[in-house]
Every structure is written in structure tokens, then in C-alpha cells.
Amino acid sequence: MSDQEKAAKRAQWEEINRAKAAAKQREQGTPDNLEPRASVTQKQFQAIRGSRDLLPPDTALWNHVEQTAREVFGTFGFGEVRTPVIESTELFARSIGGETDVVSKEMYTFPDELDFFRQNLRTISEAMQDEGRLNRYLNLVVVFSERLKDALNANRLPQTETNLDVSQQLADLSSEALGRWNNGKTKPDPEWQNLLGRAETLVWDFDLGDKESLRPEGTAGTCRAYIEHNMQQLPQPVKLYYMGPMFRRERPQKGRYRQFYQIGAEVLGGADAPAIDAELIEMLMTFFGKCGLQGTELSINSIGHSRDNCRRGYVALLRTELEKVKDKLGADSQRRIETNPLRVLDSKLEHEQSVIEKLPRIGDHLCDDCKTHHAAVKHELELRGVVYRENWRLVRGLDYYMRTTFEITAPGLGSQNAVCGGGRYDGLVELLGGPPTKGIGFAIGEDRLILSLEESGKGAAPQGRDVYIAWMGERAYATAIRAAKDLRNADFSVELPPTELKFGKALERASKLGSRFALILGDNEVADGQWTLKTLRDGSQQKLTEQALLEYLRKL
Ligand code: HAM
């Protein structure tokens, strides 16, 4: 091998190693010891669009709401389920529906790293332009082939016959390509075109398995968990609740975020008794009542089930009627006539309202079973004193619903005023591969609930400390540490300044923190065993022994 050839080979391997190192670093993230480069101007990071920080004292209200949910749901026999925020994309597509906005437009789905690689392998015509680009393309093929093999060996990809075969063919092809390159064939030519073409076809034959998405809602994950953990073996129905972040890439506005929080509940089991629907709604209204949320409005509807003599028949009729008034509808509604005519009923566009009001109503086209079920749900709600409004246009935006649907609005939220949505979804568990199961549930938009509570003046009062310990001197410090421990053990919130402060300064800080009391500990107090407790609201002071102090505070 000539010196020139050796140099070319070395350069080639260096390039491959660089590509491998870069891929590895992408996988592992930036090392902790990487100093920011001096030339990079310091960037001010901000929470990304549609997400936000929740800070104290606001988080006190969030905690209060969540605690109230735990307590109220507990009294109705619900237990908490915590499912991952990331699930298989297919789970959401199958349950929520591939055509829905949530799945087709709003999900955060991660492109698989290998998928990313193979997108880059589509640039054959570019690779055929010069030696440098050919070299880069070749590197990609080699690295892709190795990572594929690693992923297969580590069981991170489906070990199907095709995948194993493709992986082997790709490995053979990359060594053939390297051999060619090492033999000095470094210029684009028809044979390279042929070789790279084969590589490109091969990578697309590979099944990279399921993609993953951030959850846009909690029902699908809960049903997956119900199936995965054989919960049908438990006494039925299984009543579960959850709370946590959900993700939808929507246009952010008041009450609408890309990371938002839901508090949800699901009842899963063999029965679809109307009392289950009504009790779930009763629980929801009890919860809102306990939170102090006023001015809520509950709307209910039944969208029947998907048979020709029920919803399917109605949808066909609706489509025909919508075609007749197509010209009077906006572009979105026109498109929905084909894709999902029921969603036209959801439209908030002013000029469409009079058209929609004249359309046939689903209530008149339900089958007898669904009609009876709906009437019984309403009766059960009345038995429980739950006030509702019927809304025949309430169809909901997720595909899994059948029969009962409901929504609750709250004041102070502007156009995004739905604070909760829910409904029945019998058959969803079966659709996901589980046993025939009935289901009903709801999800509260926690951000909106908090917003509405704050707007109505029900936000939590800023939380101050109960006791600020103003200490001076080494002996007093030791006593202060002990006093802080005892007070905290007795559930008081205590601020113990970490360094000595003059009493004047300490009292100033205590006021700023909104503390109720300042416990003053200096040499005299420690020597006499008589501690000074100052009430910051009115400035009054009293002397108390350690024991008497605890008793005094406990009685307040
Ligand atoms: P959903 O109607 O899509 O239903 O969402 C429920 C609630 O979550 C909405 O009423 C709203 O308060 C809140 N929400 C939705 N998107 C956002 C957003 N981008 N920003 C802030 N809040 C939002 C479901 O998610 C179903 N899984 C409910 C369910 C459970 N049905 C049966 N079981």
C-alpha cells in the first residue's frame, strides 16, 4: 500500500471514529465537565413555549387541590395509579384515534435515533457528487450497520427474521464498500451508485419497532396498565385515579399549555350500570365543591354506540345533511364532513351556529338500549341531586367514547372554559388487546381549575413561617437548633437563620417572610430558661419556658 493510500485509509477511519464518538456523545448527553466555551455568549434559558414553572406560594394551591382530590376520591373507593409519561405511540393512535387532532397533530413523538440516521441515507444523489461526500455517506452506512447490530444484540429492536437478515446483508455490504474504498475506488462511479442504492433500500426494509410519545392524556395508559397487570382478576369494578403532566403541541393561550396537568379517574370492569356513570359525576362535583369552585356547569349527552341502528346510522345521516349545507360552513367543518362529521357539532364559529342548530340531533337516532341507558343516567343523577344541562352537541374530540359524554365549564377561563371532560368508553380495553371491559372516566384540567379558583379569589393565602428563631451567641445557637427541631417535630414551620444576625435585622427578615412569631434567644433567655416570643402582627412579647412555648403554640 502506498503512503498516499495509507494516509487516505487513516483519514477514512478517523472520520468513522469521529462519527461513532459523536453518535455516542449524543446518546450519553454532554459530559458534566464540559466548560461553556468562552466564545459562546451566555444564553438566558427560559421555559419552552407552552410550558411554565409553578412556584411557591402558588404551588400551595396546587398541593391543596391535589390533596383534596386524594381525599374525595378515596371516600369513593378509588386508588391511585401512576403510569409512565412516555408510552408507545401506537397505544395512543389506537385508543384516541389516528385521525383526531390530538394524535395526528399534537403528540410529541420521538424519532428513533436509527430512524434519524436512515433519513440521512436518502441523500444518494448528493453523495455521488464528489469524493468527500461519498466518504461521508459511506461512513453513515458503516455506523448505521454497526448500531443496528448493537441494537439487535441488546434486544432493543424486534429480532424478526427480516431484521436479522437485513442486518447481516447490511454488514456484508458495508465491508464490501470499505474494501472498494480501500482499493482506491474513491470517486463516485456507477458501481458506487449501485452499492449505495442497495444500502438505501436495505435500511428501509428494516422494522425499527414502535415509536414512543409523551402521553397526551391518561386514559390510554391506565387501560394499558389494567391489561398488563391483569386487573380484571381483581374485584370489579377497578376504580383508579391519577394526576400528572400531559403533553400536547397546541397553540398556547390562556388556559391552554403544551405541558399541562390533569387529575383523572377511570372505572373499569364488567358492568355499565347507569349508577356507575352517575356516581362518577357525583364524585367530580363533590370534589369541585370541596375545592370551592363556584359557577360550574355540567353538560351531558349520549353519543350511543357504533352500530348501524345507532351512532353509525346517525353519522351517515349527519354527513348527508352536512353535504347539503356545505357552502355555509368554514374550511375546517367542510373537511370534517368527510373525516369526522360529529366534530362539526363542536364548532364555535359564530356563522356556523344557526346551520348546526338545524341539523338532526343524535338523541332522536339512538337505539333503544342507548336511549334507556341515557334516561337512567339522568335519573341516577337526579337521585344524587346533581344538576346538569343536556347538550346534544357534546361529542368530545377523542374516538374512544360511546354513550355517556360530559363536560364541565367554569367561570374566569375565557374561551378555554372546559375544566373537565369525560365519558364512557366500553370496548377500549378490548381494542387494546384486553378482555371485554366497560369503562368510564374523566380528566380535570388542573391548570384551568387553579386559574378559575384564583380568578374567583380562592387562591391560597401566601404561606409564611410559623416561627422565626432570632438567635445571638454560640450557646443560644445550640438552643436554637434544638428548639427548631422540637417545633418542626410538632409540625410548625420554622426558619432558623444559618448565620448570626443582630436582633433588629433578624426581626426585619422574620416580617418579610410573613412569620407569625419570632422566638428570641440570646444569652439571657438561655441562662434563665425563659424564652421570648414576639407576636409580629402586634409587636407584643411574652416570656415562656420551653415546655410552655410548645403548649402555647399548639393551642393557637
Ligand atoms: P380532554 O377533554 O382531552 O379529555 O381533556 C380533559 C381536560 O384536560 C380538558 O377539559 C381541559 O380542562 C384539560 N386540557 C386538555 N388540553 C389542555 C391543554 N392543552 N392545556 C390545559 N388544559 C388542557 C381527556 O383527556 C380524556 N382522557 C378524559 C377522560 C378520561 N375520558 C375518559 N376518561
Per-residue HEC secondary structure of 332-345 comes to HHHHHHHHCHHHHH
Output the CA 192–ligand 1 centroid distance in Å: 53
Output the CA 446–ligand 1 centroid distance in Å: 9
- pLDDT digit string (tens) for the chain, length 556 residues: 555 555 555 555 555 556 555 555 555 554 445 555 555 567 899 999 999 999 998 999 999 999 999 999 999 999 999 999 999 999 999 999 988 899 999 999 987 777 877 888 888 888 899 999 999 999 988 998 998 899 888 888 888 899 899 899 999 999 999 999 999 999 999 999 999 889 888 888 888 877 899 999 999 999 999 999 999 999 999 999 999 999 999 999 999 999 999 999 999 998 999 999 999 999 999 999 999 999 999 999 999 999 999 999 999 999 999 999 999 999 999 999 998 899 999 898 999 999 999 999 999 999 999 999 999 999 999 999 999 999 999 999 899 999 999 999 999 898 889 999 999 999 999 999 999 999 999 999 999 999 999 999 887 666 778 999 999 999 999 999 999 999 999 999 999 999 999 999 999 999 999 999 999 999 999 999 999 999 999 999 999 999 999 999 999 8
Pairing verdict, β 402-409 and 418-424:
antiparallel
- Joined together, the cell numbers standing for residue 150 give 448493537
- Cα–Cα distance measured from residue 421 to residue 413, given in angstroms and rounded to the nearest whole number: 15
pLDDT in the model for residue 255: 95
Nearest in space to 120 (alpha carbons), one of 133, 106, 107, 110: 133
Mutual orientation of helices 161-182 and 3-28 as an angle, nearest 10°? 150
Secondary structure of 490-506 in HEC code, one letter for each residue: CCCCEECCCCCCCHHHH
**Cis geometry, peptide bond prior to residue 158 (ω within 30 degrees of 0):** no
Q: Contact, 426 vs 277, CB < 8 A?
A: no
| Dihedral angle sign, alpha carbons of residues 284, 290, 293, 295 | positive
- Cα–Cα distance measured from residue 515 to residue 534, given in angstroms and rounded to the nearest whole number: 10
pLDDT in the model for residue 395: 92
Q: Measured from the CB, is residue 419 less than 6 Å from ligand 1?
A: yes
The H helix count followed by the E strand count for the chain is 21, 16
**Quick count: other Cβ atoms within 10 Å of Cβ 50?**
17
Closest ligand 1 atom to 449 CA: 12
Closest ligand 1 atom to 248 CA: 19
Q: Measured from the CB, is residue 219 less than 6 Å from ligand 1?
A: yes
Mutual orientation of helices 446-455 and 58-75 as an angle, nearest 10°? 120
pLDDT in the model for residue 31: 47
- Cα–Cα distance measured from residue 145 to residue 160, given in angstroms and rounded to the nearest whole number: 16
| Dihedral angle sign, alpha carbons of residues 222, 223, 225, 226 | positive
Kind plus residue range of the DSSP H or E element containing 283: helix 274-291
Q: Measured from the CB, is residue 403 less than 6 Å from ligand 1?
A: no
Q: Measured from the CB, is residue 217 less than 6 Å from ligand 1?
A: yes
The dihedral formed by the CA atoms of 124, 130, 131 and 134, expressed in degrees to the nearest 10: -10
Residue of the CA atom closest to atom 18 of ligand 1: 256
**pTM (2 d.p.):** 0.81
Enumerate long-range contacts of 2-6, CB under 8 Å, 24 or more apart. Answer: 5/182, 5/184
- Cα–Cα distance measured from residue 495 to residue 493, given in angstroms and rounded to the nearest whole number: 7
Q: Contact, 483 vs 519, CB < 8 A?
A: yes
For 297, left (φ over 0), alpha (ψ -120 to 50), or beta? beta
- Greatest CA span in the chain, whole angstroms? 99
At 64, give phi and psi (nearest 5°).
Answer: -65, -45
Calculate ∠ Cα 49-52-56, nearest 5°. Answer: 165
The dihedral formed by the CA atoms of 128, 134, 139 and 144, expressed in degrees to the nearest 10: 0
Q: Contact, 525 vs 476, CB < 8 A?
A: yes
List the beta bridge partners of residue 86: 214
Residue of the CA atom closest to atom 14 of ligand 1: 445
